[in-house]
């Protein structure tokens, strides 16, 4: 099978592995709260493809929030938090606060 894009422009989550991780987290009382991924040399937007990956028919695939990290020139440029709008396939930006650690 040949894929038309590289990891710089596309990612595919392993749905079985993700489902097992969510189930294990629930069973152990440590539920998964967020999934994150990066956009290389692009903004930290939630793309139509991201939305199609994580919601279908107005139903959220996994009950969590999503962080998208923008990587520009090999460095973190921005981070944004996205949450699902129930009953839709849409996601809206939410507040994300980053506390940088100091040495």
Residue range 31-42, pLDDT digits in tens: 999 999 888 898
Average pLDDT over residues 43-66: 83
SS3 17: helix
User: What's the pLDDT score for residue 5?
Assistant: 65
CA distance 34 to 57: 21
CATH of 33-94, one of 3.40.140.10, 1.20.120.1200, 3.40.50.300, 3.30.1330.40: 3.40.140.10
Domain ranges of the chain: 33-94
Kindly report the number of other CB atoms within 10 A of residue 53's CB atom: 17
Contact 47, 78 (CB under 8 A): no
Q: What is the pTM of this model?
A: 0.79
Task: Give me the residue label for tokens 């996601």.
Answer: 91
DSSP symbol at 68: E
Return the structure tokens found at 91: 């996601």
**For 1-16, how does the pLDDT look when each residue is reduced to its tens digit (9 = 90+)?**
666 666 666 677 888 9
């Amino acid at each position: 099978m040949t894929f038309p894009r590289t990891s710089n422009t596309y990612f595919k989550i392993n749905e079985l592995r993700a489902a097992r991780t969510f189930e294990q987290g629930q069973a152990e009382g440590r539920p998964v709260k967020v999934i994150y991924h990066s956009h290389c040399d692009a903004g930290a937007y939630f793309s139509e493809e991201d939305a199609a990956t994580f919601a279908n028919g107005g139903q959220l695939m996994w009950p969590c929030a999503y962080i998208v990290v923008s990587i520009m020139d090999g460095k973190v440029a921005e981070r944004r938090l996205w949450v699902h709008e129930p009953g839709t396939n849409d996601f809206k930006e939410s507040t994300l606060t980053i506390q940088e650690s100091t040495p």
